[in-house]
Amino acid sequence: MITPEQRAEFRKHFRYNVGRRLVLDKIVKGVVFSCVIVAIVPLVAILVNVFSNGAAALTWNFLTEIPGAVGSDDPGGIGPAIQGTMVLIGMSSLIGVPVGVMGGIFLSEYGNNRYGRTVRFFNDVLAEFPTIVIGVFAFVLIVLTVGNFSVWAGSFALSIVMLPIIMRTTEESLKLVPVTYREAGHALGIRRYRVIFTIVLSSAKNGLVTGILLAVARIAGETAPLVFTILGSSQFISDLNGPIDALPLRIWRLSSLPYDSAVTQGWGAAFILIIMVLSINIGVRYIFLRNKEKTFLKFKKMGVAS
């Protein structure tokens, strides 16, 4: 990497100005350390604010009741939003998990060719797409065609957000399973799909579960696609073809209302959402870092686990 001329130049450079260079080194270290502090301050501030303001809003009624009329004395609760988020997570997982896992299996077991590389590339690109574009897409494809906002459209949009994350994490965890396991299976004459299902998938199940959980944490907080697909509602869910509410959407609506009670409710809803998302993220990290799990470190390098 370094040519002899460069080395001579460096040596000349390093021999002089020792004092100044040490001072510069100290300054840079200080600056770099303050970068870390600057990045941590907002995290701490957000958590402190959400926890202190949100805890005040928490009551049983807040968690279970429907929202009251806008501006009325009884602010009601966020029951439909919590229910809607759960329903959306469940339904989008029904599409996202099987397709994502099967796609991951394809990439890992059959994907060592040109087609596999193409899919992998576009999968990575899809993972970084603005989610609002996915929302508009689901709107044009489903809402405009069917004619009404629906849980289906929301779940479809969220499953597209989930899919690339699960596909990539599945592929990476399957690749960590040693080839010898597969060879042992093949040597016994077991069919390939059984080898994949019973041997490879079960050895990689920790990584698989981590990927799915991270994808769930990601979609739990997604707002932009929902604006276009489920619209929001103040009633509990009655029909999968009708609009429903979701936590992030409710937070957005509440934040635009000028009432104090709406602000308190907004913090309360943010509290619930952040507890959901962070407990998944921290839980996954805690378990896997304690076990020094290779899969998770790999996910982090990919930027998926965030």
Partner 1 sequence: MVDSLISNIISSKCVMLTIKMKKGSPHVDKIFKIIALAAATYVLVIIAMIVINLVTGSAPVWQKEGISFLTGSDWNSVEDRESYGAFPYIMGTLVNAGIAMLIAVPLSFGIGMFLSELSPKLLRTPLAMVIELLAAIPSVVYGLWGLLVFRAYIQDWIETPLHNLFGDQSIIFAGTPFGLDILTASIILAIMIIPTIASISKEIMLAVPNSQREAAYMLGATKWEAFRLAVLPYSKSGLIGATILGLGRAVGETMAVTMLIGNATGAAAIPTSLFQPGQTLATIMANEFAEASQGGLHLAALVGIGLILFIMAFVINVVAHLLVAKVVKSHEGAVLA
Q: Does 281 bind partner 1 (CB under 8 A)?
A: yes
Would you say 28 or 240 has its CB closer to partner 1? 28
Contact call for residues 164 and 141 (beta carbons, < 8 A):
no
Q: Does 51 bind partner 1 (CB under 8 A)?
A: no
Query: Min. distance of Cβ 58 from partner 1 in angstroms?
Result: 16
Q: Does 141 bind partner 1 (CB under 8 A)?
A: yes
> Which of 3, 19, 39, 258 touches partner 1 (CB under 8 A)?
39
Element (H, E) at 277: helix 260-290
Percentages of the chain per state (helix, strand, coil), in multiples of 5: 75, 0, 20
Would you say 29 or 205 has its CB closer to partner 1? 29
Residue carrying structure tokens 């870390």: 36
Q: Does 132 bind partner 1 (CB under 8 A)?
A: yes
Q: Which residues touch 298 (CB under 8 Å, ≥6 apart)?
A: 172, 173, 176
| Region from 45-53, 59-67, 70-78, 233-241 binding partner 1, contact rule CB under 8 A | 45-53
Closest CA to 236 of 81, 85, 91, 58: 81
Contact call for residues 95 and 155 (beta carbons, < 8 A):
yes
Would you say 209 or 277 has its CB closer to partner 1? 277
Give the binding-site size for partner 1 (rule: CB under 8 A): 107
Q: Distance (Å, rounded) from C-alpha 225 to C-alpha 304? A: 20
| Subset of residues 149 to 168 that bind partner 1, contact rule: CB under 8 A | 160, 163-164, 167
Q: Does 192 bind partner 1 (CB under 8 A)?
A: yes
Query: Min. distance of Cβ 253 from partner 1 in angstroms?
Result: 10
Strand partners, 67: 76
Q: Does 99 bind partner 1 (CB under 8 A)?
A: yes
| Region from 59-67, 204-212, 234-242, 263-271 binding partner 1, contact rule CB under 8 A | 263-271
Long-range Cβ contact pairs of 248-253 (< 8 A, separation 24 or more): 248/85, 248/220, 248/221, 248/222, 248/223, 248/273, 249/81, 249/84, 249/223, 250/67, 250/78, 250/81, 251/223, 252/223, 252/227
| Region from 56-64, 67-75, 106-114, 235-243 binding partner 1, contact rule CB under 8 A | 106-114
Query: Min. distance of Cβ 90 from partner 1 in angstroms?
Result: 18
Which x/- pattern over 237-256 shows residues binding partner 1 (rule: CB under 8 A)?
-----------x--xx--xx
Query: Min. distance of Cβ 128 from partner 1 in angstroms?
Result: 5
Q: Does 186 bind partner 1 (CB under 8 A)?
A: no
Task: Tell me how far the alpha carbon of residue 43 is from its chain's centroid.
Answer: 17
What beta strand segments (E) does 177-219 contain? none
Query: Min. distance of Cβ 306 from partner 1 in angstroms?
Result: 4
Q: Does 205 bind partner 1 (CB under 8 A)?
A: no
Query: Min. distance of Cβ 239 from partner 1 in angstroms?
Result: 20
Q: Distance (Å, rounded) from C-alpha 256 to C-alpha 226? A: 17
Tokens of 265: 């409710």
